[in-house]
Amino acid sequence: MPAPTSDNHPRPIETDWGRRAFLARAGVLGLAAAAPPALFAAPARAATTDDALEALLAWLRPQLQRLSADTFGGVAAFCYPGPDAFSLRQLEVRREAGGIATRTPQFLMDTLDGYIPLPDSIVIPLLTDGTRQLGALPRPLPYVVTRAGLRRAQRLDEALTIVLENDEHLPASIVVALLLNVTAAVLVPASLLRLGFNSPFARLRYAEKARVFADLESDEPTVVKVLRPIVGDFLADELRGLVHYLAMALLALPSDGMYSEQSAYDRATKRLVRRPIGWDQTNYLPGRTTPPDGHAELLGYYQGRTEVEG
């Protein structure tokens, strides 16, 4: 039976529910629970509507950055566990310092934002019409969807739509974080009920995170399967290639954050401010805080040979 509509509900109820479910699965709706109530209050006059929305947008943009930081904290701890809160949440902890101590989450965000372009032809359908389809997936959805209240969900939906559709440059890290969180919440609905981080992905246990990456690397990732009827086979195949590439990058890049000098490098002075953690763990240049200028055996020609025969 078709969903009822009215002047107050111009869109089908299932569509509204799908959007709210997406907000919850992406980790965005949980942010609203901690937001100042005044941001979601109905304006007293129509003239104040734009100001109220601007205030909500000003609050939302940094919150999305926080959500991304939590998400990539979960990725860093998955690749390199340590004695930190993210590793403890996944129930995989190690004594030595891990990806969180080397600021790998920020390294991942900076790398994605600065070097990995995401085509608008794929991102816009994914984050607009596709969000309703991702929210409407036939999987159990905990009570968290209704916890923030209908008014908050509607206002947050409106603000998020503006951010996704109108920002000149939406950071790639936010898009990837939303992708990880939605996939995590679909595969493990209980992640929406667990306490701790804003990100559903960061709340997963170690084996559950592996399930997320297995899904992203599969022949038909969940997000691609859902969006294929909307965007068509051509764009769906492009999206599948992008998802596969991002999954590979998210598993490979943390090693650069973990074992490079990036966490101890001062860009202003172009010097190391301390000995990098990765140097200690690999026993690289024991006792030194500066790299060598080179090795004598690499100067000139090897063994004085200037030519070879045969």
202 vs 73: CA distance, rounded Å: 7
Asked if pLDDT for residue 146 goes beyond 80, the answer is: no
CA nearest neighbour of 243 among 66, 151, 156, 118: 118
Query: In the chain, what is the greatest distance between 2 CA atoms, to the nearest angstrom?
Result: 88
The reported pLDDT for the residue numbered 57 is: 76
Asked if pLDDT for residue 53 goes beyond 60, the answer is: yes
Asked if pLDDT for residue 11 goes beyond 50, the answer is: no
Asked if pLDDT for residue 2 goes beyond 50, the answer is: no
The reported pLDDT for the residue numbered 46 is: 44
Residue found under tokens 């996704």: 164
308: confidence class by pLDDT, cuts 50, 70, 90: confident
H helix intervals, 167-269:
172-187, 206-216, 222-259
The reported pLDDT for the residue numbered 15 is: 38
Residue found under tokens 């601007």: 54
User: What's the mean pLDDT in 157-180?
Assistant: 75
Q: What's the Cα-to-Cα distance from 297 to each of 134, 158, 267, 308, rounded to whole Å?
A: 58, 64, 31, 19
308 vs 49: CA distance, rounded Å: 79
164: confidence class by pLDDT, cuts 50, 70, 90: low
232 vs 225: CA distance, rounded Å: 11
DSSP state of 241: H
Torsion sign over Cα 186, 191, 197, 201: negative
CA nearest neighbour of 243 among 263, 207, 216, 282: 216
Tokens of 135: 């929210």
Asked if pLDDT for residue 45 goes beyond 70, the answer is: no
pLDDT digits (tens, 9 = 90+) for 259-279: 999 999 998 998 889 999 999
38 vs 262: CA distance, rounded Å: 41
pLDDT digits (tens, 9 = 90+) for 172-219: 898 899 889 889 988 888 888 888 888 999 999 999 999 999 999 999
Most confident option among 13-17, 204-208, 291-295 = 204-208
Contact 172, 116 (CB under 8 A): yes
The reported pLDDT for the residue numbered 14 is: 39
183 vs 17: CA distance, rounded Å: 18
DSSP state of 286: T
Contact 19, 157 (CB under 8 A): yes
Residue found under tokens 């991702």: 134
What does the domain layout of the chain look like in residue ranges? 17-39+53-262
Tokens of 72: 């990539």
pLDDT digits (tens, 9 = 90+) for 76-112: 999 999 999 999 999 999 999 999 999 999 999 999 9
- Averaged pLDDT of the chain: 78
pLDDT digits (tens, 9 = 90+) for 222-266: 888 888 887 788 888 988 999 999 999 999 999 999 999 999 999
Asked if pLDDT for residue 10 goes beyond 50, the answer is: no
Tokens of 130: 């596709």
The reported pLDDT for the residue numbered 106 is: 95
Pick 178 or 19 by higher pLDDT.
178
Pick 25 or 54 by higher pLDDT.
54
Tokens of 91: 């129930």
